[in-house]
Amino acid sequence: MAKIFITGSADGLGQMAAKLLVEEGHKVVLHARNEKRAAEALAAVPGAEIAVSGDLSVIAETAEVAEKVNKLGPFDAVIHNAGVGYQEQRRINTKDGLPHVFAVNSLAPYILTCLIQRPKRLVYLSSGLHRDGDASLKDLLWKERPWSGFRAYADSKLHDVLIAFATARKWPGIFSNALEPGWVATKMGGAGAPDSLEEGPKTQVWLATSNDKAALVTGRYFYHQRERQFHPAAKDVDIQELFLKQCEEISGIAFLVFGLAGQMRNFKNDF
């Protein structure tokens, strides 16, 4: 039996993965953006342990989510599921001045990776559209480029693979992988999505819990429990390091330079 935290598990693939994990007898901690949604998440997934709340579009609230999770003790796996879609309009978070897509899809998993006590496994949800992402990493915050929800989403999904692979390289003692669930008929994917909704949550559950030899790997990219080709830039160490550096500059949180306790203390002093 494993203990797993899933971001963005009030609906969609996150909720579906949570239900599968509970059915398999695992301990599951849910997440939603506010307390109302957290209560709804718990009601929708009978058997889940608890739901923590926090808006992942806000740096301070994302750090608070990490703090809440750490108070629940060590986890076997964290599934970074939360995300907003490719039809998102230009929307700037007034608290931090960040585009909503970047804040939720890219920066939040970076912050949570830095601040949550290291689990045994990390799973990052990406998308096949990450192959269209901009590997130059120029203008991450869309201050100069004309806004494109599609491009912003594709960029963010490339960022998720960069985080997964950078973490795999830096933390060799854990399993850190990324996946694409397919274009499925969730609220984000739309009713006409062609891939199997039933298969959509299975790979992340498998990566988080399975003892199959194929799942006990790190720095890999999957689709339906099979390894799949990814954007070649995702394995480029210089690009990984550039992305981590930019996330540190934006958030004020370094990738475990001081260790977990130091990170939390440093963050609280800065904000």
Q: Is there a contact between 66 and 265 (Cβ–Cβ < 8 Å)?
A: no
One of 3, 19, 27, 157 is an active-site residue; which one? 157
Neighbouring CB atoms inside 10 A of 226's CB total: 8
Query: Alpha-carbon distance 57 to 102, whole Å?
Result: 8
Query: Alpha-carbon distance 228 to 179, whole Å?
Result: 9
CA distance to 22, 48, 106, per residue, from 249 (Å): 38, 36, 14
Q: Is there a contact between 8 and 82 (Cβ–Cβ < 8 Å)?
A: yes
Query: Alpha-carbon distance 228 to 187, whole Å?
Result: 25
Q: Is there a contact between 46 and 20 (Cβ–Cβ < 8 Å)?
A: no
Q: Is there a contact between 95 and 107 (Cβ–Cβ < 8 Å)?
A: no
| SS3 assignment, position 81 | coil
- 157, two tokens: 């999904």
CA distance to 79, 103, 266, per residue, from 122 (Å): 6, 19, 24
Catalytic status, residue 157: yes
Count Cβ atoms within 10 A of the Cβ of residue 144 and give its class: 0-12 exposed, 13-18 middle, 19 or more buried: exposed
One of 86, 110, 124, 153 is an active-site residue; which one? 153
Q: Which active-site residues does the annotation give?
A: 153, 157
